[in-house]
Amino acid sequence: MYCVRNVTEDLYWIGANDRRLSLFENIHPIPEGVSYNAYVLTDEHTVLFDTIDWSACRQFLQNLEYVLDGRPLDYMVINHLEPDHGASIEEVLLRYPDVKIISTPKAFMLMRQFDFHIDSHELIEVKEGDTYSFGKHKVTFVAAPMVHWPEAMVTFDLTNGVLFAADAFGSFGSLDGKLFNDEVNFDRDWIDHARRYYTNIVGKYGPHVQLLLKKASTIVDQIRYICPLHGPVWRSDFGYLIDKYQHWSTYEPEEKGVMIAYASMYGNTEAAAGALAAKLCEKGMTNVVMYDVSNTHVSYLISETFRLSHVVLASVTYNLGIYPVMHNYLMDMKALNLQNRTFAIIENGSWACKSGDLMEKFLNEELKNMTVLSQRLSLASSLKAEKANEMEALADAIIESMAEQK
């Protein structure tokens, strides 16, 4: 049975959801699943825009067959061939052997690397600025290298203003029938999925996203729909989405607020983190969130770190080093190129307390444009009453630095 939605009169969403996959890319938890989006245009020629993951291939093929309604499939445009999209390319080729594939030379190279058998089919290589007509609809191709793979491109339909955006503007989360951004409460129900998707999957490549945004800005008044490969299709409120992408891709925080990430073995460092949170709120800074790094997947920590302006790292010393899961979080910040945050440090050690110096050294030497407040709270095993003044001073330093920022 098919499950399709019209995007426009002659463009159909024919994707599918995967609610069974627990780890996207076998690393990021997706408790609410993910959608793989593909689209078919039924012009004088029929055109498939991207395919989907193996896991939902059957649904996708049924959708494709239904929309084609006996017509042949003439073209397949591959904007992004990473296997969560490209894995079904060969299945399409088997069923529609005369289909011509339109993509970038790098994508064809990668298809061969993945052992997709494409070479007995007609391959049409395109590059930045090329155009192609399918009948009424004329499209142009825009290179989007490293957003977030090297072969990626986006396709813009000059006739109806549809932007096929590949992974850009995508999101974790499955679609429960609702396809368009104006059918959901995106800011309430989707933004955390979208942020965690962007920051962990594409986050490293902010400068490349900036280049794509720059290209998009030249046609923004012509864009009517943004069709990403995951999550809702956008047909309104583009400014909201582009503003988020602007913040994320320039590594600027969305909000003034404090994330307290703590690593605690027996609850004492956690107690200090909790006391600081209460002190900040008492002083009027209530945009405070706390995360136990041992019990929070690092993808969530990264997403929140992209959102907020200030981060408190509270860590025990472990084997004379930083607690391993806290270290992993720091390493992920580095891998994802995170910048421009203000940090405060709480360290703990029952003897030879090292974690504070080591975290500060990492922030200063391994990451870019990070500010570490000089006020630090050092604990010997537990938080004692005599540390009240230091706690007060730490909260004040965080709030003062926030006030100094734009």
Would strands 321-322 and 5-8 be described as parallel, antiparallel, or unpaired? unpaired
Q: What ranges make up the beta strands (E) of 25-99?
A: 28-29, 34-36, 39-42, 46-49, 75-77
Three-class SS state of 153: strand
CA-CA distance, 108 to 222, in Å (whole number)?
30
Sign of CA dihedral 272, 273, 278, 283: positive
CB of 74 to ligand FEO, least distance (A): 25
> Which C-beta is closer to ligand FEO: that of 134 or that of 190?
190
Q: Quick one: the chain helix, strand, coil %, rounded to 5?
A: 40, 25, 35
Q: Does 18 bind ligand FEO (CB under 6 A)?
A: no
Which listed residue (18, 43, 74, 82) binds ligand FEO by CB under 6 A?
82
CA-CA distance, 341 to 307, in Å (whole number)?
10
Tokens of 76: 């397949």
Q: Does 80 bind ligand FEO (CB under 6 A)?
A: yes
Subset of 131-170 contacting ligand FEO (CB under 6 A)? 148-149, 167
By rule CB under 6 A, what string of x and - marks binding of each residue 331-350 to ligand FEO? --------------------
Q: How many residues bind ligand FEO (CB under 6 A)?
A: 9
Which listed residue (84, 151, 270, 304) binds ligand FEO by CB under 6 A?
84
Q: Which stretch binds ligand FEO (CB under 6 A): 78-86, 256-264, 374-382, 384-392?
A: 78-86
Residue in 62, 53, 52 with CA at minimum distance from that of residue 1 = 62
CB of 248 to ligand FEO, least distance (A): 16
Q: Does 193 bind ligand FEO (CB under 6 A)?
A: no
User: What are the two backbone dihedrals, phi and then psi, of residue 311, each rounded to the nearest 5 degrees?
Assistant: -130, 130
Q: Which stretch binds ligand FEO (CB under 6 A): 4-12, 79-87, 123-131, 256-264?
A: 79-87
Residue in 310, 315, 336 with CA at minimum distance from that of residue 325 = 315
CB-neighbour burial class of residue 172 (10 A; exposed 0-12, middle 13-18, buried 19+): buried
CB of 83 to ligand FEO, least distance (A): 8
Residue in 94, 2, 19, 92 with CA at minimum distance from that of residue 49 = 92
CB of 317 to ligand FEO, least distance (A): 38
Residue in 192, 164, 179 with CA at minimum distance from that of residue 233 = 179
Three-class SS state of 400: helix
CA-CA distance, 147 to 49, in Å (whole number)?
17
Tokens of 41: 């245009």
Which listed residue (99, 110, 223, 229) binds ligand FEO by CB under 6 A?
229
CB of 314 to ligand FEO, least distance (A): 34
CB of 334 to ligand FEO, least distance (A): 21
Minimal CB distance residue for ligand FEO? 82
Q: Which residues bind ligand FEO (CB under 6 A)?
A: 80, 82, 84-85, 148-149, 167, 229-230
